[in-house]
Chains A and B, each alone.
Chain A
Amino acid sequence: MDTLEIQKDKTDAQQAKAVATLTGSQILLNGLIAEGVDTIFGYPGGAIMPIYDALYDYNDRLKHILVRHEQGATHAAQGYARTSGKVGVVFATSGPGATNLITGLADAQIDSTPMVCITGQVFAHLLGTDAFQETDVINITTPVTKWNYQVTDASEIEEVLAKAFYIASTGRPGPVLVDITKNAQIQMAEYFGYQKCDHVRSYKPKPEIRKSYIEQAAELINKAEKPFVLFGQGILLGNAEQEFKAFVEKSGIPSAWTILGAGAIPTDHPLNVGMLGMHGNYGPNVLTNECDVLIAIGMRFDDRVTGRLDKYAKQAKVIHLDIDPAEIDKNVKTTVPVWGDCKETLPMLTELVQQKTHDAWLQKFRDFAQQEMDQCIDAEINPKEGELSMGEVINQLNQLTNGDAVIVTDVGQHQMVACRYAKFNNTRSNITSGGLGTMGFALPAAIGAKFGAPDKDVVAVIGDGGFQMTLQELGTIMQSKVDVKIIILNNQFLGMVRQWQELFNDKRYSFVDITSPDFVALAKSYYIDGQRISERNQVKDALATMLEHKGPYLLEIMVKKENNVFPMVPQGCSVSEIRLK
């Protein structure tokens, strides 16, 4: 019996053997297609030329978007990954091409974005010789990648690529970099057909679920009088929006989001009580310190969410659901850790929790929301006079998009305002740089977001400062005809830093006054239409014109120079010390 089976295996193996002899570059591109990749963001150069040469023949199967800077490629890949749920793919050359990836890798690492970057590297025999455009990319990228690997032989490419996609997309996702020496790209190797990876011995994508903790969590929740849910991007990454909604609706628990969790349930959902953190909503911050059971789901208690840790939710029992064991007890001590994929743990929990409503407790959130509306929000989103505010622009935008657009934001005041006030009906529609706070993220990320969600309106909301960090990607938008709508909220300042200087440094405005080019003329030079407005009565029409315009459009809106984002939990303060003005 045994011998027979072995013989049969052999013939199978022989049949499967060497479907073709291909170059390392061709093996790579075949692998990408087999992984379901349709779009690559990249920039060629010496050390990656063999791959680009092969790409010439794959043009019909792989769309390559030529960016204007490799940082742009990483953010575009991030935007793509965030809207589509797929792995973003980047090509870059060795040396400066590869070092230009660092910001995007760091951003993807801290925001758990699945991404595979392929970099060219000098010939293997030149490694370590300070060859032209040689940089030690593996060591430079180690702290900012989930995994990285240098390939020096074509025969490794298939297996390493499969591993790269597996690692990038499973468990807590993250960026992976594969550095391929030029000789390996050129070298011929036998190709056996692509085998996806589904197991790496030393890698456990998700910790195994322990039932007793689910039971303990359910018991805590069922006994709770003032339970409060904090949810983060883990729900989106785990594709667990339905499971989350079912849990929240059955348990009747008020739920607030981190900036990356926005959209996991719609903004209008009656149990969605708003945003957490430094510029989050009033109720969620204050009531964090009043709840009796805090249920954190797929979020990591970032310091921008918790404020001062030793005064954070000390009265509460904490249940933490997370796929990454290293997050448990990292910042906030948990009472019950529920490790595992929330797509699996949430339904188990839902089954055990009692169907409830928490009307009086929920009413507290509503009361705080009303106070916030009266004392803070109303003036921001419905000002009757004076210069334009950022909030009213976002508010008008909501009326036109009905909350169905993908909103991509840069970093600063406009980001906080957009995330606070934009309406999100759908998951994967708030694309922003959360953990790293990378200025320059939005324009390239919007390009990727559009490729990831071609049927959606993609609106980038950017500050005058951040726009000038990656504005060369207007060239990508022009060349690849990317239908993104760009709103620049121009306050003529590095607004967020100015706000801090006003509030905490006695208005000593140190290098926050920033001048800008004529953005509309700049867009025109890239053959992108646009206009600048500064009057209240123009806003609605201008936004409508932008949204109706076929193709990319840039709308510059002059807003109040010295406006502040409130509420605010000043740094070093507890969440209960949140200021409304």
Chain B
Amino acid sequence: MESQIEKQEYNITVYTENQIGLLNRIAIIFSRRKLNIESLNTSPSEVNGIHRFNIVITETEEVVRKVARQLEKQIEVLKVYYNTNADVIWQEMALYKVPTDVIAEQVSVERLLREHGARAVVIRNDYTVFEATGHREETDKLVEVLQQYGLIEFVRSARVAIIKASDGFHSKLKEFEQREPGDEVVENQYLNNRDKVFTM
């Protein structure tokens, strides 16, 4: 019940056809409600021709559910899931540019980087670029640390997330390709969740 009223991070996964203009159609569903998209990633999925959006917002479950339904209503959207962080495996990647001389001089920096699981991607005379992948706190922590060593540039990618309980989209897609609905339909996640809501 708490999750209904309290805001928290939700990972919204949207499976779509690959069509120009769809990004706008999806984005305006958020902007219309004045919801801030914290992270948005688009990528192919395991199924050829099906795209996958990972969207992160901090909101109440109720708002996220309504947004998910509006998203699913769009013609080119096949399916939408939303999950809390506990329900997904997620990662973000970050790049850090640091002056090479500082690193060369200070042995402690190398240790620090190793502790944070960062690895060098490019080493030049003037600068070195490190990459670290992890959760937000982890990549943030490294920013803090590297500030002391003259961090020149920092960038972090959008979040990618995989739903722990998902079986992937291959079998789902078969249902979508079917022209006739099956006899026994319990397909919809909202419908299935209704049991909790039904309070006679």
Instruction: List chain A residues, Cβ under 8 A from B181.
Output: 208
- The distance from the CB of B66 to the nearest CB of chain A, in whole angstroms, is 6
Q: Considering the chains assembled together, what is the distance between the CA atoms of A268 and B149 in angstroms? A: 83
Tell me if B5 is interfacial: C-beta within 8 Å of chain A. no
Assign chain B's interface to a size class: 20 to 34
Residue on A nearest B185 in the bound complex, by CB: A208
Residue contact B28 to A200, C-beta cutoff 8 Å: no
Residue contact A207 to B188, C-beta cutoff 8 Å: yes
Q: Considering the chains assembled together, what is the distance between the CA atoms of A325 and B191 in angstroms? A: 9
Residue contact B16 to A210, C-beta cutoff 8 Å: no
Interface hits, B178-200 → A, CB 8 Å = 179, 181, 185-188, 190-191, 194, 197-200
Instruction: List chain B residues, Cβ under 8 A from A216.
Output: 198, 200
Residue contact B176 to A325, C-beta cutoff 8 Å: no
Tell me if B32 is interfacial: C-beta within 8 Å of chain A. yes
Residue contact A142 to B24, C-beta cutoff 8 Å: yes
Q: Which of B16, B20, B65, B200 has most A Cβ within 10 Å?
A: B200
- The distance from the CB of B183 to the nearest CB of chain A, in whole angstroms, is 10
Residue contact A326 to B70, C-beta cutoff 8 Å: yes
Residue contact B200 to A335, C-beta cutoff 8 Å: yes
Q: Considering the chains assembled together, what is the distance between the CA atoms of A138 and B69 in angstroms? A: 23
Residue contact A201 to B176, C-beta cutoff 8 Å: yes
Q: Considering the chains assembled together, what is the distance between the CA atoms of A139 and B31 in angstroms? A: 14
Tell me if B73 is interfacial: C-beta within 8 Å of chain A. yes
Q: Which of A202, A209, A329 has most B Cβ within 10 Å?
A: A202
Q: Considering the chains assembled together, what is the distance between the CA atoms of A328 and B77 in angstroms? A: 19
- The distance from the CB of B38 to the nearest CB of chain A, in whole angstroms, is 22
- The distance from the CB of B2 to the nearest CB of chain A, in whole angstroms, is 17
Residue on A nearest B173 in the bound complex, by CB: A201
Interface hits, A289-345 → B, CB 8 Å = 317, 324-326, 328-330, 333-337, 339
Residue contact B17 to A142, C-beta cutoff 8 Å: no
Tell me if B25 is interfacial: C-beta within 8 Å of chain A. yes
Tell me if B78 is interfacial: C-beta within 8 Å of chain A. yes
Tell me if B76 is interfacial: C-beta within 8 Å of chain A. yes
Q: Considering the chains assembled together, what is the distance between the CA atoms of A207 and B190 in angstroms? A: 11
Instruction: List chain A residues, Cβ under 8 A from B20.
Output: 150
Residue on B nearest A201 in the bound complex, by CB: B176
Instruction: List chain A residues, Cβ under 8 A from B78.
Output: 201-202
Partner pick for A142 among B28, B73, B179, B194, CB 8 A cutoff: B28
Instruction: List chain A residues, Cβ under 8 A from B24.
Output: 139, 142
Q: Considering the chains assembled together, what is the distance between the CA atoms of A516 and B21 in angstroms? A: 44
Residue contact B21 to A325, C-beta cutoff 8 Å: no
Instruction: List chain B residues, Cβ under 8 A from A220.
Output: 200
Dominant SS among interface residues on chain A: mixed
Tell me if B177 is interfacial: C-beta within 8 Å of chain A. yes
Partner pick for A201 among B177, B188, B200, CB 8 A cutoff: B177
Interface hits, B15-70 → A, CB 8 Å = 16-17, 20-21, 24-25, 28, 32, 65-66, 69-70
Residue on A nearest B20 in the bound complex, by CB: A150
Q: Considering the chains assembled together, what is the distance between the CA atoms of A324 and B72 in angstroms? A: 11
Residue contact B66 to A326, C-beta cutoff 8 Å: yes
Q: Considering the chains assembled together, what is the distance between the CA atoms of A202 and B79 in angstroms? A: 8
Tell me if B104 is interfacial: C-beta within 8 Å of chain A. no
Residue on A nearest B67 in the bound complex, by CB: A326
Tell me if A167 is interfacial: C-beta within 8 Å of chain B. yes
Tell me if B1 is interfacial: C-beta within 8 Å of chain A. no
Q: Considering the chains assembled together, what is the distance between the CA atoms of A149 and B70 in angstroms? A: 19
Residue contact A167 to B75, C-beta cutoff 8 Å: yes
Residue contact A326 to B69, C-beta cutoff 8 Å: yes
Residue contact B16 to A202, C-beta cutoff 8 Å: yes
Residue contact A201 to B185, C-beta cutoff 8 Å: no
Q: Considering the chains assembled together, what is the distance between the CA atoms of A150 and B75 in angstroms? A: 15
Q: Considering the chains assembled together, what is the distance between the CA atoms of A208 and B184 in angstroms? A: 9
Instruction: List chain B residues, Cβ under 8 A from A334.
Output: 197
Tell me if A58 is interfacial: C-beta within 8 Å of chain B. no
Instruction: List chain B residues, Cβ under 8 A from A337.
Output: 191, 194
Instruction: Given A326-B70, A329-B66, output 19 extra A-B contacts at Cβ < 8 Å.
Output: A138-B21, A139-B21, A142-B21, A147-B75, A148-B21, A149-B21, A199-B179, A202-B75, A207-B191, A208-B185, A210-B191, A325-B190, A333-B197, A334-B197, A335-B197, A335-B198, A335-B200, A337-B191, A339-B191
Binding site for A on B (CB under 8 A): 16-17, 20-21, 24-25, 28, 32, 65-66, 69-70, 72-73, 75-78, 176-177, 179, 181, 185-188, 190-191, 194, 197-200
15 contacting pairs across A/B (C-beta < 8 A): A147-B75, A200-B75, A201-B17, A201-B177, A202-B17, A202-B77, A203-B75, A208-B187, A210-B191, A325-B73, A326-B70, A328-B190, A329-B197, A330-B66, A339-B191
